[in-house]
Amino acid sequence: MQTLLAYTTAPDQRSGDFEQLLPIGLCSLHAVLRSQGYPVTLANLSGVSRSEIMQLLQNGRPDVIGLSQWTHNRHTTIALARLIKQQLPDCLVILGGGHATHQAELILQHHPEVDLVVTGEAEQTLPELLDALERKACITAVAGLVLRQGRNVHRTAARAPVQQLDKLPYPARYLDDMLYGNQQLQAEFITSSRGCPAACHFCASPAFWGRQVRFRSASSIVDEMRFLRDSFGLIYLSLRDDTFTADRQRTRALCRELLHHKVKLFWNCQSRVEAIDTETLHLMRQAGCECVQLGVESGSPRILQMLGKNSNPDQIIRAASLVRQAGLQLSIYLITGIPEEEEADRQLTRKLVQQIRPDDLQVAPLAYYPGTELFRQAVQEEKVRADLFETNLSQAVLAQQDGPRQVTRLLAQTSRLRYHVTPAALQRLIQQTGYSAVLAMLLGDALLHAGNPSAAAAAYQTIISHEPDHPWGWYLRGELHEQQGALKGAIDCFKKVLTLVPRHLPSREALLRLQGT
Indicate if 508 and 371 belong to the same structural domain. no
Indicate if 403 and 434 belong to the same structural domain. no
User: 297: closest CA among 340, 333, 350, 338?
Assistant: 333
Owning domain of residue 460: 423-515
494 - beta bridge partners?
Answer: none
Helix axes of 437-449 and 471-483: crossing angle, nearest 10 degrees = 10
Residue 228 lies in a domain: yes
Residue 174 lies in a domain: no
**pLDDT the model gives residue 17:** 56
Indicate if 401 and 429 belong to the same structural domain. no
CA–CA distance, 325 with 281 (Å, rounded to integer): 9
- Cα distances (angstroms) measured from residue 214 to each of 102, 243, 473: 21, 11, 35
If you average pLDDT over residues 364-386, what whole number do you get? 96
The CATH number of whichever domain residue 491 belongs to comes to 1.25.40.10
CA–CA distance, 490 with 484 (Å, rounded to integer): 9
Indicate if 354 and 409 belong to the same structural domain. yes
Q: How far apart are the first and last CA of the chain?
A: 51
Indicate if 438 and 386 belong to the same structural domain. no
Q: What percent of the chain has pLDDT over 70?
A: 98
Contact predicate 143/137, CB 8 Å: no
CA–CA distance, 283 with 285 (Å, rounded to integer): 5
149 - beta bridge partners?
Answer: 152
Indicate if 295 and 382 belong to the same structural domain. yes
Contact predicate 121/159, CB 8 Å: yes
The helix (run of H) or strand (run of E) holding residue 363 is strand 360-365
The CATH number of whichever domain residue 44 belongs to comes to 3.40.50.280
**Which of 417, 433, 451 is the C-terminal boundary of a domain?**
417
Indicate if 301 and 318 belong to the same structural domain. yes
- Cα distances (angstroms) measured from residue 5 to each of 251, 346, 443, 506, 516: 33, 43, 44, 30, 40
Residue 170 lies in a domain: no
Cα 62 → chain centroid? 29
pLDDT for residue 15 is more than 80: no
In this prediction, residue 20 has a pLDDT band, given cuts at 50, 70 and 90, of confident
Contact predicate 446/421, CB 8 Å: yes
CA–CA distance, 426 with 326 (Å, rounded to integer): 10
Give the tens place of pLDDT for each residue, 86-132.
999 999 999 999 999 999 999 999 999 999 999 999 999 999 999 99
The CATH number of whichever domain residue 221 belongs to comes to 3.20.20.70
- Number of residues in the chain: 517
User: 104: closest CA among 462, 442, 370, 376?
Assistant: 370
**pLDDT the model gives residue 211:** 78
pLDDT for residue 14 is more than 80: no
- The values of phi and psi at residue 240, to 5°, are -100, 30
Residue 178 lies in a domain: no
Sign of CA dihedral 406, 409, 412, 415: negative
Indicate if 279 and 332 belong to the same structural domain. yes
Max intra-chain CA distance, the chain? 75
CA–CA distance, 52 with 146 (Å, rounded to integer): 31
Residue 177 lies in a domain: no
Radius of gyration of the chain (CA): 24
Sign of CA dihedral 308, 309, 311, 312: negative
Cα 207 → chain centroid? 18
Indicate if 138 and 261 belong to the same structural domain. no
- Cα distances (angstroms) measured from residue 189 to each of 203, 272, 275: 20, 19, 22
List Cβ neighbours of 129 (8 Å cut-off, separation of 6 or more): 94, 118, 139, 142, 145
Q: What percent of the chain has pLDDT over 90?
A: 91
> DSSP assignment, residue 178?
-
The helix (run of H) or strand (run of E) holding residue 65 is strand 64-68
Q: What is the 3-state secondary structure (H, E, C) of 253-305?
A: HHHHHHHHCCCCCEEEEEECHHHCCHHHHHHHHHCCEEEEEEEEECCCHHHHH
Indicate if 388 and 452 belong to the same structural domain. no
Looking at per-residue confidence, does 151 or 19 come out higher? 151
CA–CA distance, 365 with 334 (Å, rounded to integer): 9
In this prediction, residue 340 has a pLDDT band, given cuts at 50, 70 and 90, of very high
**pLDDT the model gives residue 210:** 81
Give the tens place of pLDDT for each residue, 27-80.
999 999 999 999 999 999 998 999 999 999 999 999 999 999 999 999 999 999
Residue 175 lies in a domain: no
| Segment among 101-105, 259-263, 417-421, 432-436 with least mean pLDDT | 417-421
Cα 447 → chain centroid? 31
**pLDDT the model gives residue 10:** 81
Give the tens place of pLDDT for each residue, 328-337.
999 999 999 9
**Which of 417, 436, 451 is the C-terminal boundary of a domain?**
417
pLDDT for residue 13 is more than 70: no
Residue 200 lies in a domain: yes
Indicate if 438 and 408 belong to the same structural domain. no
User: 252: closest CA among 273, 221, 227, 226?
Assistant: 221
What is the reported pTM? 0.94
Residue 173 lies in a domain: no
In this prediction, residue 354 has a pLDDT band, given cuts at 50, 70 and 90, of very high
**pLDDT the model gives residue 16:** 56
Number of domain units in the chain: 3
**Which of 393, 417, 441 is the C-terminal boundary of a domain?**
417
CA–CA distance, 130 with 136 (Å, rounded to integer): 10
Contact predicate 191/228, CB 8 Å: no
- Strand segments (E) across 72-226: 92-96, 116-118, 145-149, 152-155, 189-190, 193-194, 214-215
Indicate if 83 and 107 belong to the same structural domain. yes
